């Protein structure tokens, strides 16, 4: 397994994301026992980073992670988030100190731990001053409940503001072979300022696994309808071709399309960690094997030229 120690923590460059383990209307069915086996398989393969959040399945993913890591807490780096809460029609944004305090206490219980390695703001909250939120983060650090602070889905100006307030060690944004421009400024800033950049959405919500040969019929509530917008019309055709291109490139290394998608992201300058999802043991093992090979510079140039 490949590792990074930019923050001082030894973290696998491949991390297991657990949004899909939340199941429900976002992702569809996900058997709890299969998810636990996926977590164990990832850990056995050398993946020591597990990334989760309370909003994933309305606490379901955190509960699954908490059950899966019993007796293994010292072997892994645990990341979770705050700031998004379930509402009747849509999620609510709340980064008030009171909400942050309530969320961390609940997450600690669900995850069966007394500390979180990496605590991240999930999304910015325009109704709460960032200084108030991060002041509460500092209190949590002083109490030993969190070790490092991070932010997700921040713009570059928001990230710069956060860094002026406190020490932001981790930054998590969407980045994949399907879109390399969206987070480029963020990645460059992280590299220049020694922040660990964690890429999510690396598999495009699963489309870069290559399993979709025709446009799927998805419910409006599916993540693949409203969040990962690669599944309809021209976007789907372009994404499908990208998956085929990655699959052919991976064959030279006896690998799979998903491994190629992960490898491509890890090869990009400034990207430290690539997160992948898995809802069963087979998916976890296959994705973790991305660490066993890498694209050459010539192969990366070829991929960029063909997909541009």
β 11-12/3-4 pair status: antiparallel
Residue of 258, 234, 112 whose CA lies nearest to 177: 258
Q: At what angle do helices 297-307 and 233-251 cross, to 10 degrees?
A: 160
CB 124 within 8 A of CB 156: no
CB 76 within 8 A of CB 43: yes
- Kindly state the tokens that stand for 261: 């998608």
Examine the residue annotation and report whether 56 is marked as an active-site residue of this protein: yes
Question: To which residue do tokens 């909003």 refer?
Answer: 55
- 3, 56, 230, 231: the catalytic one is 56
Q: Is the alpha carbon torsion for 220, 226, 228, 230 positive or negative? A: positive
CA separation for the pair 115, 8 (Å, rounded): 17
Catalytic residues: 56
């Amino acid at each position: 397994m490949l590792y990074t120690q930019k923050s001082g923590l030894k973290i696998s460059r491949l991390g297991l994301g657990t949004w899909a383990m939340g199941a429900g209307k976002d992702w569809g069915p996900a058997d709890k026992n299969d998810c636990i086996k996926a977590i164990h398989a990832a850990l056995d393969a050398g993946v020591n980073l597990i990334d989760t959040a309370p909003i994933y399945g309305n606490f379901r993913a955190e509960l699954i992670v908490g059950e899966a890591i019993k007796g293994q807490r010292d072997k892994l780096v645990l990341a979770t988030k705050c700031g998004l809460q379930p509402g009747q029609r849509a999620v609510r944004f709340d980064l008030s100190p009171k909400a942050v305090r309530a969320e961390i206490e609940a997450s600690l219980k669900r995850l069966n731990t007394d500390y979180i390695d990496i605590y991240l703001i999930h999304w910015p909250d325009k109704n709460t001053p960032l200084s108030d939120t991060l002041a509460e983060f500092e209190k949590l650090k002083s109490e030993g409940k969190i070790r490092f602070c991070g932010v997700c889905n921040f713009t570059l100006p928001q990230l710069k503001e956060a860094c002026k307030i406190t020490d932001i060690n981790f930054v998590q944004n969407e980045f994949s072979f399907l879109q390399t421009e969206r987070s480029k400024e963020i990645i460059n800033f992280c590299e220049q300022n020694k922040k660990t950049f964690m890429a999510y959405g690396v598999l495009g919500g699963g489309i870069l696994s290559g399993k979709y040969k025709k446009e799927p019929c998805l419910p409006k509530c599916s993540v693949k309808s409203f969040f990962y917008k690669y599944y309809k019309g021209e976007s789907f055709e372009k994404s499908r071709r990208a998956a085929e291109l990655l699959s052919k490139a991976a064959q030279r290394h006896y690998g799979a399309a998903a491994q190629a998608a992960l490898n491509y992201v890890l090869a990009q300058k400034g990207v430290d960690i690539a997160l992948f999802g898995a809802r069963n043991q087979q998916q976890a093992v296959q994705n973790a094997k991305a660490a066993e090979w890498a694209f050459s510079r010539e192969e990366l140039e070829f991929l960029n030229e063909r997909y541009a």
